[in-house]
Every structure is written in C-alpha cells, then in structure tokens.
Amino acid sequence: MKKTVLMLSIACVVTLCCFCCTQSKNEAPVITGAQQTEAYLHLLQGKRVGILTNHSATIGDTHLVDSLVALGINVQAIFAPEHGFRGTASGTIPDEIDPKTGIPIISLYGQYRMATDAMMEMVDIMVYDIQDVGLRFYTYLSSMYNMMESCARNHVPLVILDRPNPNGHYVDGPILDTAKYRSFVGVIPIPVVHGMTLGEMAGMINGEKWLIGGLQCDVTVIKCKNYTHQTLYELPIKPSPNLPNIRSIYLYPALCPFEGTPVSMGRGSDLPFQVYGHPDMTGYDFSYVAMNRRDSTIRTYYGVDLSTEPSNEEIFKDGFTLKYVIDAYQNLKDKPAGVDFLRENGSFNRLVGVSYIREMILADKTAEEIKACWQDDVVKFEKDRAPYLLYPL
C-alpha cells in the first residue's frame, strides 16, 4: 500500500525523543559559551555592543539579548543572518526594530551580506552567538566569516560564544574549489562536513589567513565546557525552519545537494531533509505532499522516506554520501526531469564545491567511487585543522 506523509510520523518523534537523552546521566552537562556570563560580561561593560545572532542564542529559556539588556549591557544593534532574528523567515529579510527591546535589527541577508563600515561605527565590540550544524554550505558560517572581515577592517574586537557542533564527530567531503565555486554557501576551502565548532573555525580562518587580504580579526572565544567532538549534543531549539530535529541535521549533509537539482528533499512537507522525491520518480512505494519551491504549487512526490531508516549509526558511517542523489538521478535521467538534473552552471557544483562530482555522476560512477576521490582532502584537512581544535576529539 502506498504511504503518504501528511503529518510527522510517530517514529520520527521517537527518534527526536531518543536524541534528547543521548547524553549519559553520568556525563556532566554541556555548558555553552553564552551560559558563562562571568567569562565575557566584563568585556562588554561600558561599551556599545553589536550582536550577530538569531533565535538559537539562549541562556536557559531566555534569549541572550534579553539577558544582556537585563544585566545593563548597552546593546546598540542586532545583526540578523539568514532566516532572521527569530529564525522563521524565508528569502531575504528586511531591517526592523525588535518590539521587545526597541533595539534595531540590521539584516545581513538582504541588501547586505556583510556589515558595512557605517554599521560598524555603531559599535565598540561585536558578539557572535548562533547555533551551527557543522556544514560548509550552512550559511551561519558564512555570516561569521563576513563579520570577522568587517570587524578586522574596522578594528572592532569579536567575542564568539561557542556552541557544540552536532555533526562535530567526523570530517567528510571534498575541499571547496574557491577559484571556481566560492559563494555564500561556501566561502573558505574546507570539506562539506568540517567537524569543528564555529569558535574553532574562527581560529582557523585567522590562522590560515583566509580573510580578504590576509586581515586578522581580534577574536575571543568563550569555549563550551564538558564538550568533546564525540559528544552527542542535544539542540534545545531547531537551528533553522527546515531542520526540525536531529534526524534532519544528521541527514542534511547528504540531502542538501538536492537543492541544486529538480528533486525535493521535503521542504514544505512535515519531513524536511528526511525524505527525497520527484513527481516523475517511479518504482517507489512512498509518497509525500509538499509545496514546490520553484512555483509554490502543492504536489505529490514519489521517492524515499529516510525519517526512520537507516539508523543514526549507519548515517554516521555513510557520512557525506552521494548515494541518494545518484539513486534519484538514475531514476530520472531518461525522463524530462533528467535533462536539467545537474545543470552545469547550476547550484549543485557550488554546494558540493568541485566539478568532478557532477561529471562522475553523469558518467554513472558509484557513490563509493566518487567518495574515494576526496579521501586525500579529508586527511589533509584533518591535519591542517589540528592546531585550531579547542576540544578533544
């Protein structure tokens, strides 16, 4: 019988509940950088403070901005990344005023992706606090990179309140070819899955001189406590609208490349980044209903449900795998949708970061054959990042 997804499956909810219990009762709880106000409050007192942040920057049940205002910190401006300050927006976002505090919210996902010199004149010090998920194409990293450049150019120190990386236990994927595919979904030469916190990454950006012109940003990282790269960390808040649970975060590396194809990865359904499909895919007993991101029509998609299987352990073992993209391509390549499945000048190459992956998929190479091509990249990056790690592996 054909299965149609109209609401979140009970099994997926169970997966999320299990995730909430992954940290053993015998382990000390992770304490994020934001929670350690005693470590950074003195850096902000008496200064005009800017904060690049969104809804994920909480201290318990209270947002970082509200906490700092209550502590007498002069927050002059909130800078908002993709999805906005509240984490619910899609597309470009406007400037606005925070109704709770009256603080201006400046969009860095609209007319500007980088804070201008005029914006930086408003502040003496900048704070960054956003929950990341450890992928090169997740744009919170790009926003941090751009803010580091703005801070360096204007001699404004940056305080990063570090948070754990839920995909921090492994490295996988090719290193971005910045000469060809540098964009807002890939700004620095790192693998798809980099296995670092953003605090660690900021150190690497400085150390490797990746800012434009070799600029150096004055960065202070407030480290997490009780965190290692093997910690299975519970995200208290979903980091963005289409990553609702840990299952979607674990599958995100493998499913995000579908953004560069006609295939849906569940946006607009109840299982975003936990399914993939297309109206013309055949031979599958699973279907789901979602809004088409190109023309906003509601359609039925036929494909694969990953919300319960494979296991999380199998997902970790697969890492950044192309087997799902290859499966969809093989199904569609002789149909109308196959004509532009991997457009040469489309976003697929920008997401994966190199040209050879597209070429090998079109040549009917297997996921294992393609994965073997970037193993040297993984070894090199793991060696290069070693001096910048702040937490045990």
Mean pLDDT of the chain: 92
User: 286-331, pLDDT tens digit by residue?
Assistant: 999 998 877 788 999 999 999 999 999 999 999 999 999 999 999 9
**Could you tell me if 224 and 288 lie in one domain?**
no
**Could you tell me if 298 and 203 lie in one domain?**
no
**Could you tell me if 220 and 250 lie in one domain?**
no
Q: Taking the complete model, does pTM exceed 0.95, yes or no?
A: no
**Could you tell me if 163 and 45 lie in one domain?**
yes
User: 113-172, pLDDT tens digit by residue?
Assistant: 999 999 999 999 999 999 999 999 999 999 999 999 999 999 999 999 999 999 999 999
Tokens coding 199: 């605090």
**Could you tell me if 57 and 189 lie in one domain?**
yes
Instruction: Look at residue 343 in the predicted model and tell me its pLDDT.
Output: 84
Tokens coding 293: 């991101």
**Could you tell me if 178 and 270 lie in one domain?**
no
**Could you tell me if 258 and 188 lie in one domain?**
no
**Is position 131 within any domain?**
yes
User: What one-character-per-residue DSSP string does 368-389 give?
Assistant: HHHHHTTHHHHHHHHHHHGGG-
CA 352 and chain centroid, separation? 14
Does residue 344 or residue 300 have the better pLDDT? 300
User: 236-276, pLDDT tens digit by residue?
Assistant: 999 999 999 999 999 999 999 999 999 999 999 999 999 99
Cα–Cα distance for residue pair 12/245, rounded to 1 Å? 9
Structural domains in the chain (count)? 2
**Could you tell me if 75 and 180 lie in one domain?**
yes
Cα–Cα distance for residue pair 349/369, rounded to 1 Å? 18
Q: Which of 158, 302, 152, 311 is nearest to 222 (CA)?
A: 158
pLDDT confidence bin for 5, thresholds 50/70/90: very low
- Tell me which of 172, 201, 234 is where a domain ends: 234
**Could you tell me if 277 and 139 lie in one domain?**
no
**Is position 14 within any domain?**
no
Residue 9 has pLDDT above 90, yes or no: no
**Could you tell me if 344 and 250 lie in one domain?**
yes
Give me the domain span that covers residue 258.
Answer: 244-354
* Lowest mean pLDDT, pick from 2-16, 100-114, 176-190: 2-16
**Is position 363 within any domain?**
no
**Is position 239 within any domain?**
no
